[in-house]
Amino acid sequence: ADMALYRAKADGRGTFCFFRGEMAETVESRRVLELDLRKALAREEFELFYQPLVHLKSGRITTCEALLRWNHPTRGMVSPMDIIPVAEEMGLILDLGRWILRKACMECMRWPEAVSVAVNFSSQQFHQRDILSEVRYALEVSGLPAHRLEIEITESSLLRNTEWTHDALRQLHSAGVKISLDDFGTGYSSLSYLHNFPLQKVKIDRSFLEGIDTDRPLMLLRGVARLSADLGMAVVVEGIETTEQLELVSLDGTVTEAQGYLFSRPVSGVRIRELLDASHGRYLHDNNVKA
Ligand code: C2E
Ligand code: MG
Ligand code: MG
Ligand code: MG
């Protein structure tokens, strides 16, 4: 719940964060976290994990999403949900984001050519003035062709419905990079975002899977999927954990890709390469189901 409040602020909606429970303790541990974050970036203590997106018709891995991990010496694995908002408030997000982007592009160069990489951009990172040159530079130093990079933004990045936001998206699009709308349906969504902005992919949030074995939630998910598909976007459903969910989501053919623990949890760079090599990019979800 605390994180939701931090997020609200980081999203720039003017909501401030409040501390719950032991206030002093929270402030103190946050201060320590901030100091540690600075050091961690300098020492390159961060790591990227990768989680595949699977094309439903072919069973192929189309994309792997880069997910930030921080193996803290005393805290253990720190969730990106704790890191990103703090990095945003500290003004560290641009440096961290730059590291993530370059690292992910370089990693993708080691994968089969048909596999792309998806990189999450925080709202601040997306709204930096030289975003296009940041992206171009990451592609240049890594040698990754633009079409193999997908940038995941959330609805909060689109809240500033300005000429600039449109320009940035258009420029990235004409540079050949794909833009994908992450966690769709959780933010201050407006369905109009789907056609107002040049987006190539929509990732329907996993909260849409709740109660999907009953009529109405399934209709809602299908409606959103159909709408996105009709507007020409690829449709991904996130957070698939069971074969039942996969079957329901696959039924009418509008959902193009799926992601979730059923296929694979996020895994290390070494492990994802093994997975891609072993499967030749083909995802054997039958194996997984039986496991
Ligand atoms: P996201 O971009 O929506 O990423 C998906 C999250 O859902 C990941 O959590 C992933 O581990 C989790 N997930 C995937 N499949 C399943 C499933 O079947 N069931 C369940 N319960 N969860 C599943 P993670 O890695 O903890 O990341 C959380 C969020 O932190 C991400 O949500 C994204 O918003 C943010 N994040 C992660 N890495 C980065 C990054 O490099 N930069 C930025 N700006 N944000 C990041
Ligand atoms: Mg994402
Ligand atoms: Mg997501
Ligand atoms: Mg999510």
- For residue range 210-249, list pLDDT tens digits in order: 988 888 889 999 999 999 999 999 999 999 999 999 999 9
In the structure, which protein residues have their CB atom closer than 6 angstroms to any atom of ligand 1? 51, 66-68, 79-81, 84, 100, 120-122, 152, 182-183, 239-241, 259-261, 266
Q: Average pLDDT for residues 28-42, to the nearest whole number?
A: 85
Task: List Cβ neighbours of 51 (8 Å cut-off, separation of 6 or more).
Answer: 64, 65, 67, 259, 264, 265, 266, 267
User: How far apart are the two ends of the chain, measured CA to CA in Å?
Assistant: 34
Q: What is the whole-number distance in angstroms between the Cα of residue 221 and the centre of ligand 4?
A: 16
Q: What is the whole-number distance in angstroms between the Cα of residue 183 and the centre of ligand 4?
A: 5
Please tell me the predicted confidence (pLDDT) of residue 9.
Answer: 40
ipTM, two decimals, is: 0.98
Q: What is the whole-number distance in angstroms between the Cα of residue 70 and the centre of ligand 1?
A: 13
Nearest CA to ligand 1 atom 37: 67
Mean pLDDT (the chain, rounded): 87
Q: Which ligand number lies closest to the CA of residue 258?
A: 1
Q: What is the whole-number distance in angstroms between the Cα of residue 194 and the centre of ligand 3?
A: 16
Out of 51, 120, 151, 245, mutate this one to test ligand 1's pocket (max ligand atoms within 8 Å of CB): namely 120
Question: Number of helices (H) and strands (E), helices first, in the chain?
Answer: 12, 9
